Amino acid sequence: MSDGATGNDDIPSSRMARGKIAARTGLKMGGNYARYLARRSVGGDADAARSKLHTSNARDLFSELAKLRGTALKLAQGMSVDPAFFPEEFTEVLAQAQYQVPPMGAALVRRLVRQQLGAYPEAVFASFEPEAVAAASLGQVHRARLKDGRDVAVKVQYPHVRESIDADLSMARKLAERFVGTGSVDRYLEEVRARLLEETDYLQEGRNIEFFAAQYNDDRIVTPRWIEAYTTQTVLTMTWVEGVHLDAYLASEPSQESRDRYAQTLWDFVHDQVAADNLTVHADAHPGNFLFMPDGRIGVLDFGCVKRFPRAFRDDMIGLFSAQLDGDSKRLERQYEALDLLPADFSDEQRDYFRSLLMDIGEIIATPYRSDVYWFGSTETIDRFRALMPRLTGREAFKNRRPVGSHHFVYVNRLVFGMLSMLTDLKATVQVARGRDQLLRVITQD
């Protein structure tokens, strides 16, 4: 068997090569828009035409990002769990970034394993499945068995991913600065860069796995365990966790009792992390990282993206949540300022605009916590976020454009929107009181 890589396995790493693909994507989406305008000019169903435009653009975007993988595809994952800010057609298509990335060929995988572990996979492992069981933005997973009989998952990182981080963030910076001004996004992109450097170090991910296993493995949550002897920076071996992803679980038409049980576990897991004294959260809360296990437990995967918060930020964030629940405008103002949501150099007009927007966003997030039990079967929460879009993208937003808030919010947003999205998909009833009271105890104990 040849160990050479095919042309389809060539993942561009230079800024020029990746920039060409980005430019080609823009041309495709521009063509889609031109066709949409042409169809609209001759009449027809405007809503159907607009939906077709969004779907075509989302498919073209996913197709090109899948070639880039790496940071670019991580952005697609983030978009797919943030339904408040993108059309429904985009979130549906970009959800493929969680499950359906084109995998590397078997020949390239063999070569990468040999480079990292010193021998081809069939020599290292008792068995190794050449077809990937999952392919995501940074790497793909193969099922294997160790010679001691343990079933394991072997994650192999795509070539050039680490080298492409700066190129992709440079493209993201140029795009963002067209809308919000030079230098205004640097601290947020540096936060993303720091997490991506950690996420592409599989030795660090192995240590994260062991940390979370020690903290959370119980009768509700299962994490894999790290096999250090078979791990390098770009090949990670961990014990196998059996289960199905959210889409397959929902396709099985589970009972409401089952949905509620799993949703409660997800809710409690997120709040346990935020309230914990170790200030550490699994910050990649998209459906591809959770498995619904036959025995009722939830398997948690992918510990590359882990966020460690400064205590002051975590406590100020919970203080903001508490002030929102209490409707205390003076405390809200103090917390906005502490979290850099209302910078000192804002004009009165900017302060009024952002204060109003922040209060409305905070109220949407606080709503489920105002009762002890909340039903997530309605899309009300997501619909209310979507209703804010004209204020986020319209003329007033453009006039007051400027990123606000601590850079630590980058991964808080992913955690919150990821959780809300999954609970909404489950259409579950959740006992919210425990999570709410956990958070409030953090600041009453300080």
In a domain, 321, yes or no: yes
Strands 127-128 vs 134-135: parallel, antiparallel or unpaired: unpaired
Domain endpoint, select from 79, 98, 117: 98
Average pLDDT over residues 170-174: 71
> Which run of H or of E encompasses 236?
strand 235-239
Predicted confidence (pLDDT) at residue 91 exceeds the cutoff of 60? no
pTM exceeds 0.85, yes or no: no
Q: Do residues 2 and 102 touch, judged by C-beta distance below 8 A?
A: no
Q: Which amino acid is at 249?
A: Y
Specify the number of domains making up the chain: 2
Average pLDDT over residues 321-348: 94
Range of the domain at 421: 243-446
Say how many C-beta atoms besides its own lie within 10 A of residue 3's C-beta.
14
Nearest to 122 by CA among 131, 132, 113: 113
DSSP character at residue 183:
T
Nearest to 437 by CA among 239, 267, 246, 291: 267
Radius of gyration of the chain (CA): 23
In a domain, 136, yes or no: no
Nearest to 273 by CA among 305, 307, 243: 307
Angstrom distance (rounded) from CA 135 to CA 102: 7
In a domain, 119, yes or no: no
Please give the mean pLDDT across all residues of the chain.
82
pLDDT one-digit tens code per residue, 349-362: 889 988 998 999 99
- Which of the pair, 428 or 8, is modelled with greater confidence? 428
- Which of the pair, 257 or 61, is modelled with greater confidence? 257
Q: Do residues 159 and 151 touch, judged by C-beta distance below 8 A?
A: no
Residues 6 or more apart in contact with residue 161 via CB below 8 angstroms: 11, 69, 70, 71, 138, 139, 200
Domain endpoint, select from 33, 67, 98: 98
Range in 207-211, 263-267, 320-324, 419-423 with the lowest mean pLDDT: 419-423
In a domain, 145, yes or no: no
Catalytic positions, please? 284
Domain endpoint, select from 81, 98, 115: 98
In a domain, 69, yes or no: yes
Strands 298-300 vs 134-135: parallel, antiparallel or unpaired: unpaired
pLDDT one-digit tens code per residue, 363-373: 999 999 999 99
pLDDT of residue 7: 38
In a domain, 371, yes or no: yes
**Per mean pLDDT, which of 24-33, 40-49, 223-232 is the most reliable?**
223-232
Say how many C-beta atoms besides its own lie within 10 A of residue 65's C-beta.
27
pLDDT of residue 85: 44
pLDDT of residue 92: 55
pLDDT range class, residue 65, cuts 50, 70, 90: low
Per-residue CA distances from 11 to 100, 137, 169, 275, 321 (Å): 17, 12, 17, 40, 43
Angstrom distance (rounded) from CA 261 to CA 257: 6
pLDDT of residue 3: 37
Q: Is the C-alpha dihedral spanning 132, 137, 139, 143 positive or negative? A: negative
